[in-house]
Amino acid sequence: DIQMTQSPSTLSASVGDRVTITCRASQSISSWLAWYQQKPGKAPKLLIYKASDLETGVPSRFSGSGSGTEFTLTVSSLQPDDFATYYCQQHNSYSWTFGQGTKVEVK
């Protein structure tokens, strides 16, 4: 299975900050990477797929980049609603695997 590793595990930030989360794959996954946002007690929400394609309805302050084994999720200006846990997921090959998550908390 392809292993996905996110960094950092926790990120402290303030409203208005530019925030970047990194996800690394144990082998090349081309651009087959997705990002999700999850709030406590709620189901995850798809933000980005194929590394940089924004899901319908997701604010443009979210962006994704990368290919091969290294990827980033960037929030250009953090909003109060963005404090949550973020997960990456490779969708290159079965069995589809997630990163361990990055919690974005209030600084």
Specify the stretch interacting with other proteins by CB under 8 A; choose among 13-21, 49-57, 64-72, 76-84: 49-57
Residue listed under structure tokens 């933000």: 47
Q: Is 11 in the site for other proteins (CB under 8 A)?
A: no
CB under 8 Å to 76, separation ≥6 — which residues? 18, 61, 62, 63
Instruction: Provide, rounded to whole angstroms, the least separation between the CB of residue 9 and other proteins.
Output: 10
Q: Is 98 in the site for other proteins (CB under 8 A)?
A: yes
Instruction: Provide, rounded to whole angstroms, the least separation between the CB of residue 89 and other proteins.
Output: 7
Q: Is 46 in the site for other proteins (CB under 8 A)?
A: yes
Sign for the CA dihedral angle at 82, 13, 50, 93 comes to negative
Residue listed under structure tokens 């007690």: 41
Give the closest residue to 47 by CA, choosing from 75, 67, 20, 25: 75
Specify the stretch interacting with other proteins by CB under 8 A; choose among 21-29, 58-66, 70-78, 95-103: 95-103
Q: Which residues bind other proteins (CB under 8 A)?
A: 1, 32, 34, 36, 38, 43-46, 49-50, 55, 87, 89, 91, 94-101
